[in-house]
Amino acid sequence: GQNIDQPTEMTATEGAIVQINCTYQTSGFNGLFWYQQHAGEAPTFLSYNVLDGLEEKGRFSSFLSRSKGYSYLLLKELQMKDSASYLCAVSRWAGNMLTFGGGTRLMVKP
Amino acid sequence: DGGITQSPKYLFRKEGQNVTLSCEQNLNHDAMYWYRQDPGQGLRLIYYSQIVNDFQKGDIAEGYSVSREKKESFPLTVTSAQKNPTAFYLCASSPEREGLGDTQYFGPGTRLTVL
């Protein structure tokens, strides 16, 4: 089966840096996605990691270690609008299905 | 504009009634998916379809049914057999490529409340 763990909630200060971790155990691992979801809205794509290493995209970066079953999303220069849930999702080879973690609710305070 | 639409945004139904949620995409994507999200939780896969006239059960298919008669459309029916249907339902699509992970894009969702 699949098991994906991420913290339930995190709080950070505007302008700071926050790292949201995700660990996974799955068969047929293909890659790992991060999505952002504001309350009551649809998830929006942030990043996709297939190979080990860091992918940087503006204020957001995502890291993957396939051997350790570990990923993190790094948010820099936090803004109030970054308050949202961040979903880690594992892509499996068969059927391009995604298995989602429970999401991490990030609250950014002034 | 290309995108995924779901209607309605909010839906109320009486217990025991079947209800069908609409999902349409004009992105020319092959694959489409239905997820359910309960408060404070992640998404769980209900059904998915990689090609027209074919679909597969996801992790929580019981009490749901789908059809895929057209590439653009993937409606979900929540039947009276679904024990706890009140939830936020999300439809997604992706340009399916065999054996490769590909980004799924989500519609705005339908919040179903069963009274």
Per-residue pLDDT tens digits for B40-72: 888 999 999 989 999 999 999 999 999 999 999
pLDDT at B1 over 80: no
The answer to whether B61 contacts chain A (CB < 8 Å) is no
For the cut 70, the answer to whether the pLDDT of residue B14 exceeds it is yes
Question: Could you give the angle at the alpha carbon of A43 between the alpha carbons of B37 and B99, nearest 5°?
Answer: 90
A57 exposed, middle or buried (CB, 10 Å; 0-12, 13-18, 19+)? exposed
Give the pLDDT score at B98: 54
Distances (CA, A) of B71 to A32, B84, B92: 26, 29, 13
pLDDT above 70 for B97 = no
Q: Does B32 touch chain A (CB under 8 A)?
A: no
For A8: left if phi > 0, alpha if psi spans -120 to 50, otherwise beta; the answer is: alpha
pLDDT above 90 as % of chain B: 71
What is the reported pLDDT for A52?
A: 96
Average pLDDT, stretch B13-21? Answer: 92
pLDDT band at B100 (very low <50, low <70, confident <90, very high): low
Query: Who contacts B17 (Cβ-Cβ below 8 Å, separation ≥6)?
Result: B80
Q: With 80 as the cut, is the pLDDT of residue B99 above it?
A: no
B69-89 confidence digits (pLDDT tens)? 999 999 999 998 888 999 999
Among B residues 74-113, those touching chain A with beta carbons less than 8 Å apart: 88, 90, 94, 96-97, 99-109, 111
- Report the alpha-carbon angle B21-B99-A91, nearest 5: 60
Please count the residue pairs, one from chain A and one from chain B, whose beta carbons lie less than 8 angstroms apart. Answer: 65
A79-99 mean pLDDT: 87
- How far, in Å, CA of A56 to CA of A34, rounded? 13
pLDDT tens, A25-81? Answer: 988 888 999 999 999 899 999 999 999 999 998 999 999 999 999 999 999 999 999
| H or E element in which residue A65 lies | strand A60-65
What burial class does residue B98 get, using C-beta atoms within 10 Å of its C-beta: 0-12 exposed, 13-18 middle, 19+ buried?
exposed
Q: Rounded to an integer, what distance in angstroms lies between the CA atom of residue B36 and that of residue B87? A: 7
pLDDT of residue A80: 97
Which candidate from B45, B97, B108 shows the least CB-CB separation from A97? Answer: B45
In percent, the amount of chain B with pLDDT more than 70 equals 93
| Cβ–Cβ < 8 Å for B94, B105 | yes
How far is it, in rounded angstroms, from Cα B66 to Cα B89?
13
